[in-house]
Amino acid sequence: MIELVAAVCAVVAVYAALRAVLEKNTLRKLPFVNVMNFAVAGVIALILPHPLTLAAAIAYFVGATLEANAIASALASRFAPCSAPSDEVALARLTPCSVPSDEVTLARPAPEDES
Amino acid sequence: MILELAYIAAAAVISLILFIALDIFWKLPKEGGVSGADAVSREIVAAGGDKNGGWMLGNIICSPDASAGTLLAACGYWICGVPGGIAAAVLVFIGARICADKGWAGTSGALAAIVVIWALSTFAGFPPEAFIAGMVIAILLVQGISARHASRILGSIWRKI
């Protein structure tokens, strides 16, 4: 029974990994990567029935979801539409979509100022 | 072999119903609980999916929810019995807090999964490891086939309830 369960998890992990590789869009890869993480966490627990293996599987899974959240939120802030409430908020998120206004643009000094 | 496959298929259906019911109970399709879930939902909507279903898929991806709780509780129950399942529930709660989520969906999913797996393995002869494969198949059906269609189905279930 354990071999069958491990085989199911392994097949699902390979399928999800292939779908993630074949998908072009990074955000659309994340559901397939999530399926792969589920399958790999199951395989980690199945490969050695020990309490520490359970801790390792949970640590792997939580870390993987944290990474997925970081990737998704980083991409969201990078490609967000230019609707930031203020330039300060946009600057804090490091969004490149905020066009600098005339007030904050550093003007090149005029030639007469240098003389 | 056929009996074992039947156990795995039945466990997949039970896990699917359990985690979708708990995620809808904790209102995961209502809004993107974490910032990454909003981005995933926008991408699914851009691909022709449903917004509420996309939020639910985004929340499943970006924080340990009831599906993660079910899988990890199944692993814990298989390794150490009920104490292992409870340890998994505690660790899922801590992990969800690390992911800036409230953590109720994951913890309740793990606790509900312990009760279901204990009842079915004690009274119906289910092997606990069948729920590990069952949960992997259930999440494959939700996330791994087509996010567009899955989000539409989840969104319609959310609006009906």
Total number of domains in chain A: 1
Under an 8 A CB cutoff, do A15 and B75 touch? no
- How many helices (H) and strands (E) chain A has is answered by 5, 0
SS3 state at A49: coil
SS3 state at A47: helix
Cite the DSSP H helix spans in chain B: 2-25, 35-46, 51-62, 66-80, 82-98, 104-123, 129-139, 147-160
Q: Residue B17 and residue B38: Cα distance in Å, rounded?
A: 24
pLDDT at A92: 46
**Tens of pLDDT, residues B12-66:** 999 999 999 988 888 877 877 677 888 888 888 888 888 888 888 888 888 888 8
What distance in Å separates residue B25's CA from the closest CA in chain A? 21
Q: Which two tokens stand for residue B29?
A: 């399709």
Q: Residue B21 and residue A60: Cα distance in Å, rounded?
A: 25
Domain that holds residue A22: 2-93
Greater model confidence, A112 or B149: B149
Is A108 part of any domain? no
| B129 pLDDT more than 50 | yes
Best mutation target among A5, A19, A46 (most B Cβ atoms within 10 Å) is: A5
Would you kindly state where each structural domain of chain B is located, as residue ranges? 2-160
Chain A residue whose CA is closest to B41: A27
Instruction: Report yes or no: B132 and A46 within 8 Å, Cβ to Cβ.
Output: yes
Contacts of A38 in chain B (CB under 8 A): 67-68, 71, 135-136, 139-140
Q: pLDDT above 70 covers what percent of chain B?
A: 99
Residue in B58, B87, B143 nearest the CB of A35:
B143
Q: What is the pLDDT along chain A (115 residues), one digit of tens a residue?
A: 888 899 999 999 999 999 999 988 888 889 999 999 999 999 999 998 888 999 999 999 989 988 888 888 888 776 655 554 544 444 444 444 444 444 444 455 555 554 4
With cut-offs at 50, 70 and 90, classify the pLDDT of residue B131.
very high
Q: Residue A7 and residue A9: Cα distance in Å, rounded?
A: 5
The mean of the pLDDT values for chain B is 88
| B136 pLDDT more than 70 | yes
Contacts of A17 in chain B (CB under 8 A): none
B84–A contact, CB cutoff 8 A: yes
Instruction: Report yes or no: B27 and B59 within 8 Å, Cβ to Cβ.
Output: no
